[in-house]
Copies of this chain bind each other. A is one copy, B any other.
Amino acid sequence: MAKITHVSPLAPAGFPDLPVIAGAEFASVAAGIKYQDRKDVTLVRLAPGTTIAGAFTKSSTRSAPVLDCQEKIGGDSTEGAAIIVNAGNANAFTGRNGADATHAVTSGVANCLGVPVGRVFSSSTGVIGEPLPHGRITAKLEELKNNLSETAIQDAAEGIRTTDTFPKGSCQSVLIEGKTVNISGIAKGSGMIAPDMATMLVYIFTDAKVEQTLLQSILSELTDLTFNNITVDSDTSTSDTLLLAATGSSGVDITSPAGAFRDALFEVMLDLAHQVVRDGEGATKFLEVEVSGAESVVDARTHALSIANSPLVKTAIAGEDPNWGRVVMAIGKSGAKADRDLLAIWFGDILVAEQGWVSPSYSENDGAEYMHNQDLKIRVDLGLGSHSATVWTCDLTHGYISINADYRS
């Protein structure tokens, strides 16, 4: 397994001070799932009435816990609920054993906390193809229950890490109808996860009161604008899970899909998504790619992801090379509509190419100077329509190869 020897150069200065969400309690313990002497199992207890929405990997080989969560989303929220997460073993591609292990864990939590098993959501992240030692998790449930605390969310952010180089948290507080509504979220992912793929797990809590179908609708809209628009290496985990729990303890009813709550949630989700990219394996640069002037949002996003996933673009970013020819190549191969002679390309505010050729105002020195920045932006206008999309990625470096190739299992 790859050793984590340093924190990503793109990491934020520190973990934020997340506001308490009344009705959400956290505890983490070291259960020895795979790692020794570190917290690797995290329990969250949610008060009766908490509504829960979710978004999950679209992988056709998704893990047993993901399938179990998907079945449970949308259930009756009058009783309490729980989330249980283990790091070190993904319980993915474990045959029929996988569902049995998930059931053992979730029913154990249900019994321990006195909540329905249909309201216990689980996630597992780590190696795949190995049986989950579920007994090590259930053996710790009493201890976890006794440690539950509304102020322990940072411990939870630490406990869900596998080989992330930093814990990820984000929050927003907004005044709605004279009352404060809080949103606190944590995430893991895209760190140096070995020997398997980087899994993204995200848990967001709010004291707003939101009916489940509205909560799901807002979450789905925002997932498409945030977590579904980030990419590190184009590979998709079998275990990606995002859960959003609304305890309602603020007493503020949210009844509209638009407005201050949605906007604050968007900020939390975007910040966490960016932090995942900033912990991308081997990342030394953060790249925003915006494609405008498309005939549809789907076309814009297809082009943006083609640029963001192109190994040749990503290595050019790593090499601080303003290689707009590779951007043209990535647009050409995407399959979405483009007209070569209408393209315009900017690196930051620098117009690089227009009308199918290098811009007369462009100087290679300006481009090379811009590429020295740590945070970069490539913008493309297709000149075809009015739709746009933005995605975020990191560069492709020797660090990525070292993390993913330079070991033997």
Contact = CB atoms under 8 A, between A and B. Distances in A.
A408 B235 contact: no
A325 interface: yes
Interface stretch (A102-110, A139-147, A396-404): A396-404
B195 A341 contact: no
B396 A61 contact: no
Interface stretch (A43-51, A210-218, A355-363): A355-363
Interface stretch (A18-26, A249-257, A329-337): A329-337
Most buried by B among A237, A326, A330, A401: A401
Interface in A373-409: 395-398, 400-402, 404-409
A268 interface: no
Contacts of A93: 325, 328, 340, 353, 356-358
Given A59-B333, A128-B328, A401-B396, A322 B409 contact: yes
Contacts of A57: 332
A311 B321 CA distance: 21
Contacts of A309: 234
Contacts of A325: 92-93, 127-129, 195-197
Interface string A75-112: 00000000000000000111111100000000000000
A405 B397 contact: yes
B195 A323 contact: yes
Interface in A306-365: 309-312, 315-316, 318-326, 328-334, 337-341, 343, 353, 355-358, 364
A125 interface: no
Contacts of A400: 311, 315, 401
Contacts of A408: 319-321, 368
B405 A330 contact: no
A364 B409 contact: yes
A408 B324 CA distance: 13
A334 B128 CA distance: 18
A353 B93 CA distance: 9
Contacts of A320: 408
A235 B398 CA distance: 19
A312 B355 contact: no
B409 A405 contact: no
A233 interface: yes
Nearest to A354: B95
Given A328-B238, A338-B60, A357 B405 contact: no
A318 to B, nearest CB: 4
Nearest to A303: B60
Contacts of A235: 310-312, 326, 329-330, 333
A95 B405 contact: no
A295 to B, nearest CB: 13
A353 B196 contact: no
A320 to B, nearest CB: 6
B406 A319 contact: yes
A151 interface: no
Nearest to A334: B60
A62 interface: yes
B406 A196 contact: no
Contacts of A8: none
A236 B335 CA distance: 11
A407 B321 contact: yes
A62 to B, nearest CB: 7
A196 to B, nearest CB: 5
A261 B353 CA distance: 47
Contact of A319 (B58, B328, B397, B407): B407
Lowest 9 A-B CB distances belong to which pairs?
A: A61-B332, A95-B357, A59-B332, A236-B333, A319-B405, A315-B404, A315-B405, A128-B325, A318-B405
